[in-house]
């Protein structure tokens, strides 16, 4: 994951690429009033294709570090994209996992999940506890695990563990660690202890979101899990590892939906953070930018010490297969991909039927007129 790069000044610096996974959620017929079927599909564990809107006889193919198809379980997403980075936070290193994509494509499902299908957050917290309890006493470190939970809304930093909090400042200390003075930090001793703090805060956010017109799709929800380890013997060395688990604001282009006034201002702010994130990820992955523009938005400023550098980062881009998401899917894929390939290969119904479960109502007119052979 880490690569050595030589900057313009000829000095070699260690940077870490952001691993990019794409997750396609299952097709939902209630999201597809015109019954057009899916417009995007997986090819294998790293590739997918989408119909080319300029020419429907072509598809555009994308390649990613990982492609998670619609059948992928929460457990599989966790095992392949998140679990491998967790050991690092017990050694004082930082990591971040974020879910990107349009509203309705599965970001919250991926990060939070449900009681029956828990997502990345509960699985990661459990795993961090497992890793800590599996540590050998003889290594001589004591571990403590804690959390902060915040939201960036309209470029304001709000504490989700402390209702009615005001916009909090983001600071950097002399060791280049990013901190937020005044942000609630809660130490917890077990998974159920974590849940006791996390669930009410999440519910608060959800309730507020229905009242405030889908605020949750316009804000970035950021859970910070910190592992602090202290050496039992003198000189009691201490190391802190941070893990950011981020459910990003929807990546849809709000200009198209005709938002006015306050909504437009919100959209602009969201675009600023997401736009800056895309520039940061781009600069990190291309390795050519002399300066990474972390300071240009609150989100990237906050993630500065946990995205790039020696940190371990994974971006899960969530996409939906229905046509109504088409342009947002395209722009999410272009954000996530460094390379794409236009292939002259029609996205035919026949091929779709081989991959998706046959749905008689979606057969083409020709088939009906021919009496339907299958």
User: Footprint of Mg ion on this chain (CB under 5 A)?
Assistant: 107-108
Instruction: Identify what 15 binds: Mg ion, ligand ADP, none; CB under 5 to 8 Å per kind.
Output: none
Phi-psi region of 316 (alpha: psi -120 to 50; beta: other; left: phi over 0): beta
Report in angstroms how near the CB of residue 175 gets to ligand ADP at its nearest: 35
In terms of CB distance, is 145 or 277 closer to ligand ADP? 277
SS3 128: helix
Report in angstroms how near the CB of residue 319 gets to ligand ADP at its nearest: 10
Tokens of 69: 């198809």
| DSSP class per residue in 139-159 | G-EEEEEEEEEEEEETTEEEE
Phi, psi of 140 (to 5 degrees): 85, 20
Instruction: Identify what 297 binds: Mg ion, ligand ADP, none; CB under 5 to 8 Å per kind.
Output: none
* Residue 59 burial (C-beta neighbours within 10 Å; 0-12, 13-18, 19+): buried
Beta-carbon contacts of residue 173 (< 8 Å; ≥ 6 apart): 179
Examine residue 321 and tell whether it contacts ligand ADP (CB under 6 A).
no
In terms of CB distance, is 106 or 241 closer to ligand ADP? 106
Examine residue 318 and tell whether it contacts ligand ADP (CB under 6 A).
yes
- Which stretch, 9-17, 58-66, 104-112, 343-351, contacts ligand ADP (CB under 6 A)? 104-112
Q: Which parts of 44-103 interact with ligand ADP (CB under 6 A)?
A: 101, 103
Report in angstroms how near the CB of residue 70 gets to ligand ADP at its nearest: 7
Report in angstroms how near the CB of residue 16 gets to Mg ion at its nearest: 27
In terms of CB distance, is 108 or 154 closer to Mg ion? 108
What is the C-alpha separation between 252 and 70, in angstroms, rounded? 21
C-alpha distances in Å from residue 78, one per residue of 119, 149, 234, 316 = 8, 21, 37, 11
Number of residues in contact with ligand ADP, rule: CB under 6 A?
12
Report in angstroms how near the CB of residue 215 gets to Mg ion at its nearest: 11
What is the C-alpha separation between 302 and 180, in angstroms, rounded? 9
Q: Residues 41, 109, 220, 312: which binds ligand ADP (CB under 6 A)? A: 109
Examine residue 26 and tell whether it contacts ligand ADP (CB under 6 A).
yes
Beta-carbon contacts of residue 79 (< 8 Å; ≥ 6 apart): none
Report in angstroms how near the CB of residue 98 gets to Mg ion at its nearest: 12
Report in angstroms how near the CB of residue 105 gets to ligand ADP at its nearest: 5
Examine residue 242 and tell whether it contacts ligand ADP (CB under 6 A).
no
Examine residue 312 and tell whether it contacts ligand ADP (CB under 6 A).
no
Examine residue 104 and tell whether it contacts ligand ADP (CB under 6 A).
yes
Residue nearest to Mg ion (CB): 108
Closest-CA residue to 66 (of 84, 92, 39, 91): 84
CB 100 within 8 A of CB 318: yes
> What is the Cα 329 distance to its own chain's centre?
15
Report in angstroms how near the CB of residue 271 gets to ligand ADP at its nearest: 17
- Which stretch, 41-49, 105-113, 154-162, 205-213, contacts ligand ADP (CB under 6 A)? 105-113
Residue nearest to ligand ADP (CB): 106
Helix%, strand%, coil% for the chain, nearest 5: 35, 25, 35
Residues that bind ligand ADP (CB under 6 A): 25-26, 101, 103-109, 217, 318
């Amino acid at each position: 994951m880490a690569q050595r790069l030589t900057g313009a000044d000829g000095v070699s610096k260690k940077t870490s690429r952001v691993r990019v996974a794409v997750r396609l959620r299952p097709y939902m017929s209630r999201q597809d009033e015109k019954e057009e079927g899916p417009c995007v599909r997986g090819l294998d564990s790293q590739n997918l294709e989408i119909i080319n809107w300029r020419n429907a006889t072509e598809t555009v193919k994308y390649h990613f570090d990982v492609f998670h198809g619609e059948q992928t379980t929460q457990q599989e997403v966790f095992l392949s994209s998140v679990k491998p980075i967790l050991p690092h936070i017990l050694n004082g290193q930082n990591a971040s996992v974020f879910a990107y994509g349009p509203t309705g494509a599965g970001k919250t499902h991926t990060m939070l999940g449900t009681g029956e299908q828990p997502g990345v957050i509960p699985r990661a917290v459990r795993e961090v506890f497992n890793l800590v309890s599996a540590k050998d006493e003889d290594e001589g470190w004591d571990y403590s695990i804690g959390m902060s939970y915040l939201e960036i809304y309209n470029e304001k930093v709000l504490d989700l563990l402390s209702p009615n909090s005001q916009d909090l400042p983001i600071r950097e200390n002399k060791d280049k660690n990013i901190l937020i003075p005044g942000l609630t930090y809660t130490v917890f001793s077990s998974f159920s202890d974590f849940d006791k703090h996390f669930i009410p805060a999440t519910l608060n956010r959800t309730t507020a979101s229905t009242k405030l017109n889908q605020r949750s799709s316009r804000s970035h929800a950021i859970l910070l899990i910190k592992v602090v380890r202290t050496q039992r013997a003198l000189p009691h060395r201490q190391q802190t590892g941070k893990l950011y688990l981020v459910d990003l604001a929807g990546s849809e282009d709000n200009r198209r939906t005709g938002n006015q006034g306050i909504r437009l201002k919100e959209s602009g702010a969201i675009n600023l953070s997401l736009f800056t994130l895309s520039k940061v990820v781009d600069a990190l992955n291309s390795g050519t930018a002399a300066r990474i523009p972390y300071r240009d938005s609150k989100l990237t400023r906050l993630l500065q010490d946990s995205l790039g550098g020696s940190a371990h980062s994974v971006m899960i881009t969530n996409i939906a297969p229905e046509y109504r998401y088409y342009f947002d899917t395209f722009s999410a894929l272009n954000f996530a991909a460094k390379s794409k390939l236009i292939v002259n290969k029609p996205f035919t119904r026949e091929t779709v039927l081989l991959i998706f479960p046959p749905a008689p109502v979606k057969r083409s007119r020709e088939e009906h007129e021919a009496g339907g052979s299958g």
